[in-house]
Amino acid sequence: MSFSRGSMSFSRGTRLFLLFWWALVVLYPDPSVLVASFRNIAEPRADVAAVSALAGRLPDDPREVEAEVLRRLPYATDWEVGGVPWRFPTAAEAVADGRGDCEARAVVLMSVLAAKGIPYNLRNSIDHMWVDYPGKVPTANENDALVLADREGGILSLRLPEDFDLRREVESKIALFWDPMPWARRLLLALGLLLIPLAARRASAGALTQVARPRRARPCGGGRQSGVGRPSPAGKYSISS
């Protein structure tokens, strides 16, 4: 940001920062939710204590465990559960919520499998998370061709998905992040993203006007011109400086 005679001009970097700040404030009124989510997804942990009561009532067949976890935690978007576009809860938070998206259900499922001593592998595609285990049957949304990230044995490994469709991914992101967004938040986001560039442009235009405006010449010597002859008391002329 720069200043010129009382006017402000915004650099491109400043404008981008203001746009980013506005989007963050609208989407995450409590930024700690986003910080905690990044921490949780960086190192997802099975929480046996959080699911001990649930695990004790479930059978030992992992396929039946998965079916029961999905039944007990109905699918809901992060907008519906937490009022934000994305969050990664802990197993304890997901159990307390009683519903959640694929990440919430996956972290609960892997915690139950860990409580039962059943091996598992947490996997990611570009837009989905699921838990793999011995005997799991691949589905259209959960198969090797879609895998972007594996966390087998707690070690993260990345690879390019064999099955990638850009149109499918874009439609999925719209359905996940935009469609469930409350209209009031959409309006706030749109207004800020529209008005901030306009305000910055007007401020910059004002600064340029101030710089381009010509300055009025000021006379020297308080209005008297230097070097003008004037008569001396003796009738001669002297030069004033």
Domain shared by 24 and 108, yes or no:
no
**Distance from C-alpha of 121 to C-alpha of 110, rounded to nearest angstrom:** 8
- Asked if 95 and 124 sit in the same domain, the reply is yes
Q: Which domain holds residue 56?
A: 43-168
The mean pLDDT of the chain is 87
User: Is there a single domain that holds both residue 52 and residue 163?
Assistant: yes
Burial of residue 111, with CB atoms counted within 10 A of its CB: 0-12 exposed, 13-18 middle, 19 or more buried: buried
Same domain as 209, residue 145: no
What CATH number should be reported for the domain holding residue 85? 3.10.620.30
Total structural domains in the chain?
A: 2
For residues 85 and 17, membership in a common domain is answered with no
236 domain-assigned: no
162 in any annotated domain: yes
110 is a domain residue: yes
> Over 70: is that where the pLDDT of 227 sits?
no
pLDDT, tens digit, for every residue of 148-173?
Answer: 999 987 789 999 999 999 999 999 99
Residue 79 in tokens: 């907008």
Residue 69's nearest CA partner among 40, 23, 102, 41 is 102
| 202 lies in the same domain as 152 | no
No. of H helices and E strands in the chain? Answer: 9, 8
**pTM: predicted TM-score of the whole model, two decimal places:** 0.79
Which residues are CB-contacts of 174 (< 8 A; sequence separation ≥ 6)?
none
Same domain, 69 and 133: yes
Decide if 201 contacts 18 (C-beta within 8 A).
no
Q: Which amino acid, one-letter code, is at 192?
A: G
Residue 229: inside a domain = no
pLDDT above 70 covers a percentage of the chain that reads 80
SS3 105: helix
75 vs 96: CA distance, rounded Å: 14
Structural domain contains residue 230: no
Is residue 16 domain-shared with residue 129, that is, in the same domain? Answer: no
CA gap 80, 75 in Å, rounded: 10
In a domain, 194, yes or no: yes
Residues 58 and 13 in one domain: no
